Amino acid sequence: NQNGVTRVRWIGSEPEGKIGGDRDGDGETDTPPVKIRPRSYSRRRRTHFLDPSILSKALQSPAGSLYGDGMTAEEHFLDDDELLRESNTDEGLTKMIHPDESDIFIPEIPINEFERLRRKRVLVLCTGGTLTMAPDPERGGALAPVEGAVTAYMKEMKELNNQNMPEVVCHEYTPFYDSSDLGPPDWAVLANDIKANYLHFDGFVVLMGTDTMAYCSTALSFMLENLGKPVVFTGSQIPFCEPYNDARRNLIMALIFASRDTINEVSIFFHDRLLRACRTTKVNTHRLLAFDSPNMDPLAKIGITIDENEHLILPPPRGALRVHSEMDTRLLTLRLVPGFDDGMIKVLIQSGYESGSLKTLVLKLYGTGNVPSVKDDFIQILSDAREKGILVVASTQCFTGSVMMGHYATGLALEKAGVVSANDMTVEAIACKCAYLFGRGDLTNEEVGNLLSVSIRGEVTPADALSPPPLSSAYQRASRKGKKYY
């Protein structure tokens, strides 16, 4: 293919009667691209460009549109007016009903009840990770990512030929990188590739390493606005090459959830549960249940059946898909320990302010958001940081629970100093949400601070939905009942 992009290979059998597929037997899809363009929507939006000096470069090349023969997204579509002119003539109507395979491809539409249903189509984007690893003789038998391994394994999986499984197209980015090497530019590549293929697939699966999967998936949940299709992240703790592994089941279940139309958001499937991405954090390095959602129940659990928590599912989008690929990553996270040095934090803030490299300071505080009450200088340092335009966010060091700024006197002092509460968000959600909001370029520091407590993608529990304090009144308890929060 052009630009060194790997050709797409079909995984699984082509349904009988399906237009397209592998016609010449070379194992590569020959399906012409869809040339039907949806009605366009125009919205006025202020253009914003981040300073190039603070942006890094993506390590992996974008996949682009993976439907058909590598044509660009613009070449896939006809203009609305042109399509209408063609369809309003007898000749044009005949072409639309009986398309010339060498000219235009029209999606197959069942004419009567006897025509078999179309199988769902899922695009798999693989960036590497443990799932793709195998022993490398050149490295003394140590595990290393092997390009092409996932595609080869998937071709041998008989489960994918089941008529109830979706058709799968797999793309492997080259070369593979460790997930710790991938950052916001690479996350933007994934988001743009999903957008380029959005109209041609029913769902998407992203395979990557587990170390930064929670960060990447959380970032994509903010980047993909008005997402109306499932994007499921997965990986494994044991590679495919081992006789006993969790890679096979994780991949199969991710494909199943990506082909369902009930949970249309960015999620992570691991072990036996589907978790909302922006609520997830990695909790274990050597057990199969590597991820958990500390302050929210799973979206679904698997057993003999798939049990979905329907009350947690986000409502459908109200607009067309939009991608926000600019992320302002000028952020620093500090975990406080007893006896910490105030002077060091003051130097970090001053240095970041003078160099322009610090936009957000996230503090992981004790309990519900407490600091030592005797450290008045520390409170003043945070107040000065706010006056310099640095957003200071308070989160909790506890695995579960929420920050409650006004619950204790020390927390109230932080609130008066301008520190913003992160409520029950994970540190992954805090970092990615701040990067997304500042990356938009149309929000002030005060507006970003106010939006931290607002649920945008279901990443935070609103303050009025948290459990009432002990000895609360009947009114406080009743006011929290019957409400639905995402």
Catalytic residues: 130
Q: How far is CA 317 from CA 193, 314, 360, 457, in A?
A: 20, 9, 29, 11
Q: And the tokens for 180? A: 């710790």
Measure the CA–CA gap between 134 and 149, rounded to whole angstroms. Answer: 8
Cβ(101)–Cβ(19) under 8 Å? yes
- 251: helix, strand or coil: helix
Q: How far is CA 129 from CA 10, 133, 147, in A?
A: 22, 7, 11
Measure the CA–CA gap between 447 and 438, rounded to whole angstroms. Answer: 10
Q: And the tokens for 134? A: 């195998």
Measure the CA–CA gap between 169 and 124, rounded to whole angstroms. Answer: 6
Torsion of CA 477, 482, 483, 486, to 10 degrees: 110
CB-based burial, 399-421: b 16+ in 10 Å, e otherwise = eebbbbbeebebbebbeebbbbb
Q: Which among 427, 418, 352 is positioned nearest to 397, based on CA atoms? A: 427
For 161, residues 6+ apart whose C-beta sits below 8 A from its C-beta are 12, 13
**Element containing residue 354 per DSSP (H, E):** helix 342-355
- What phi, psi does 438 have (nearest 5°)? -70, -30
Which DSSP category does 326 fall into? -
Measure the CA–CA gap between 235 and 246, rounded to whole angstroms. Answer: 9
Contacts by 85-94, CB closer than 8 A, 24 or more apart: none
Q: How far is CA 368 from CA 196, 360, 364, 375, in A?
A: 43, 20, 10, 17
Q: How far is CA 421 from CA 362, 368, 442, 448, in A?
A: 10, 10, 22, 12
Handedness of CA 464, 468, 473, 477 (dihedral sign): positive
